[in-house]
Chains A and B, each alone.
Chain A
Amino acid sequence: MPIDQWLPGVLRAGALIALLIMLFILIFLIGESWPVLSKLSIAQLVTDSSWHPLEGAYNLMPMLTGTVLASTGALLLAIPLGLASALFTLFYAPRYLAVSYKRLIELLAGIPSVVFGFWGLTVLVPLINQWHPPGASLLAGILVLTLMILPTVTVTAHAALAAVSDELARNAAALGLSRWGTIQGVMLPAAKAGISAGIMLAAARALGETMAVLMVAGNVVQYPETVFDPVRTLAANIALETAYAMGDHRAVLFVSGLLLMGLIMVFSALAEALEKQQHA
């Protein structure tokens, strides 16, 4: 009984603190980018000829495009691979293989992003360079990001599928459904919400990933014409230039932070909309 008396208060306080921190970050971002938002027009961030902040040109669109392209590419690769790994370990692999495979994927999830970046820079980039110079490219970024979000997709899909009640699986078996019939007719629909939540988590990680992408993507501010062209993502831009930026340049970097946050908000809104549609 005493626990029930003080627990709600503690929980509410915790929730309140999380909310306040979020609000403070937002206020801080808006405050720091205010010099630019009030002085320059927002249109300039879209219509300027290029990104040369020291020469007064602040076009963020190529970097927004780069961010979205790199994340989308990585998701397109990681979703099928991750789902396949989860299904394989749960339904097809022999037990000893399933356990060690799952450990391996979990290990992959724990590798810090700089390590992926370093591997990308020393192995992947020279390899792509032999095929199609300069090597540091959108493709390298996509591949490194894929490796990084693959475990997120796999682990969450695995957890969602494993959480589907045994009863459903047994009923499906009793009805004489094949293994694939059970998976696609019963397990996947039942685990859909958990799987898509994992994908959104992976998407958010891909959008915000900085170090690994910075090391392999080449960081040239431009609209890529092929996957072999280098790109710069918003997060990489902040990391590359913040330390050396002053005045308007610095404020525009905070605007790109704001933009990144907006992008992630759009993603989570999309996830919610998807889920509602599914329940309707």
Chain B
Amino acid sequence: MQEILRCLVVNSFCFVLAMGYAAQLGAQTKNTSQRLVVTGSSTIAPLVNEIARRFESTHPEMRIDVQTGGSSRGITEVRQGIAAIGMVSRALKSDERNLHAFTIAQDGIGVIVHASNPVTGFSRQQIADIYTGKITRWKVLGGADERITVIHKAEGRSTLELFVDYIQRRNSEIKPHVIIGDNAQGIKAVTGNPHAIGYVSIGAAEFEIRRGLPLRLLPLDGIAASVEAVRQGIFPLSRPLNLVTLGEPQGLALEFIEFARSPQVHDLVEAQYFIPVNAD
């Protein structure tokens, strides 16, 4: 018993030493450089990461730490003060009005099928029918006599929210065959299955199509799904990509947000197949 106690004492001593050391290290880095934590949507994260790198090259004393975990996490952590800036890939909801949002780009969600699928387009009603299980075969839509594989996203994703809003259904009414996590997984699932239908970010889909993957973006309500249509604001399934802060941004956060909205980063926005905004 005594020995256990002795060991405990020694261990906790080591632990306290380590903690103290870590705290000191933390304090040192804080002194030499300013740190900004940005967290949220996995759709926006790669873009903000690029912007942050360019920002750091002109502001060598600053460190910008970009983390992902979805729009909801962005909102939560900004509210808790864990992150200075949140990335949210949708417009703010009514109970989120206490936050400040700054749009840095626009993104559209496109419905994708395999390149070999002859179907030419859908109406909003047809998509709703496919996703609620009323239409189960491609033949009804002018395709092959095969069963439709419906690919849906996991609950909580902003892409899902926007899509479900668009078809005016509740998530529990949807009858999916495959549920996926991020855009990349959705694109892989559709390229691997000629009878599948899914929805992903238009930017991501256009990028993969240009790379030669067997994919096709379908028009919605007769409007071709393209970055161009989203830019003109005529595409029905589109969303703003926002940086959000708790209260008016100040200092480093304000500087970064202004930089992210400036023409200096338009090439980065376009490289990610998003559509830049014109900050006034």
**A interface list, Cβ under 8 A from B:** 8-10, 12-13, 16-17, 50, 52-55, 57, 121-122, 125-126, 129, 133-136, 214-215, 218-221, 230, 232, 239-241, 243-246, 249
Taking CB atoms and an 8 Å cut-off, the chain B residues in 168-182 that contact chain A are: 170-172, 176-181
- Chain B contacts for A16, CB-based, 8 A: 4, 7-8
- Chain B contacts for A55, CB-based, 8 A: 170-172
- Chain B contacts for A135, CB-based, 8 A: 149, 192-193
Query: Smallest distance from the beta carbon of A172 to chain B beta carbons, Å?
Result: 47
Query: Do A232 and B193 touch (CB < 8 A)?
Result: no
27 CB contacts below 8 A, A to B, read A9-B3, A10-B7, A12-B4, A12-B7, A16-B7, A16-B8, A52-B172, A53-B156, A54-B171, A55-B171, A126-B193, A129-B149, A129-B192, A133-B149, A133-B193, A134-B147, A134-B193, A135-B193, A215-B185, A218-B178, A220-B178, A221-B179, A240-B181, A243-B69, A244-B72, A244-B73, A244-B154
Query: Do B188 and A122 touch (CB < 8 A)?
Result: yes
Query: Do B73 and A243 touch (CB < 8 A)?
Result: yes
- Chain A contacts for B116, CB-based, 8 A: none
| B146, B188, B189, most chain A CB atoms within 10 A | B189
Query: Do A8 and B3 touch (CB < 8 A)?
Result: yes
Query: Smallest distance from the beta carbon of B90 to chain A beta carbons, Å?
Result: 12
Query: Do A218 and B11 touch (CB < 8 A)?
Result: no
User: Which chain A residue has the least Cβ–Cβ distance from B156?
Assistant: A244
Identify the 5 closest CB pairs spanning chains A and B, nearest first.
A244-B156, A219-B179, A13-B7, A134-B149, A244-B70
**Does B264 have its Cβ within 8 Å of any Cβ on chain A?**
no
Interface magnitude class on chain B: 35 or more
- Chain B contacts for A243, CB-based, 8 A: 68-70, 73, 156
**Does B157 have its Cβ within 8 Å of any Cβ on chain A?**
yes
Q: What separation, in Å, do the CA atoms of A135 and B70 have in the docked complex?
A: 28
Query: Do A53 and B155 touch (CB < 8 A)?
Result: yes
Query: Smallest distance from the beta carbon of A139 to chain B beta carbons, Å?
Result: 14
- Chain B contacts for A122, CB-based, 8 A: 188, 192
Query: Smallest distance from the beta carbon of A48 to chain B beta carbons, Å?
Result: 11
Q: Pick the contact of A133 from B6, B146, B170 — CB < 8 Å?
A: B146
CB-CB under 8 A for A129 and B179, given A13-B7, A246-B76: no
- Chain A contacts for B4, CB-based, 8 A: 9, 12-13, 16
Taking CB atoms and an 8 Å cut-off, the chain B residues in 127-183 that contact chain A are: 146-147, 149, 154-157, 170-172, 176-181
Query: Do A9 and B156 touch (CB < 8 A)?
Result: no
Query: Do A240 and B179 touch (CB < 8 A)?
Result: yes
Q: What separation, in Å, do the CA atoms of A240 and B72 have in the docked complex?
A: 14
Query: Do B3 and A230 touch (CB < 8 A)?
Result: no
What are the interface flags for B62-90 relative to A under an 8 Å C-beta threshold, 1 for contact and 0 otherwise?
00000011111100100000000000000
**Does B239 have its Cβ within 8 Å of any Cβ on chain A?**
no
Q: What separation, in Å, do the CA atoms of A133 and B150 have in the docked complex?
A: 11
Query: Smallest distance from the beta carbon of B181 to chain A beta carbons, Å?
Result: 6
User: Which chain B residue has the least Cβ–Cβ distance from A240?
Assistant: B154
- Chain B contacts for A8, CB-based, 8 A: 3
Query: Do A125 and B193 touch (CB < 8 A)?
Result: yes
**Does B216 have its Cβ within 8 Å of any Cβ on chain A?**
no
Query: Smallest distance from the beta carbon of A140 to chain B beta carbons, Å?
Result: 11
Query: Do B72 and A246 touch (CB < 8 A)?
Result: yes
- Chain A contacts for B72, CB-based, 8 A: 244-246
Query: Smallest distance from the beta carbon of A66 to chain B beta carbons, Å?
Result: 12
Query: Smallest distance from the beta carbon of A93 to chain B beta carbons, Å?
Result: 37
- Chain A contacts for B171, CB-based, 8 A: 52, 54-55
Query: Smallest distance from the beta carbon of A263 to chain B beta carbons, Å?
Result: 22
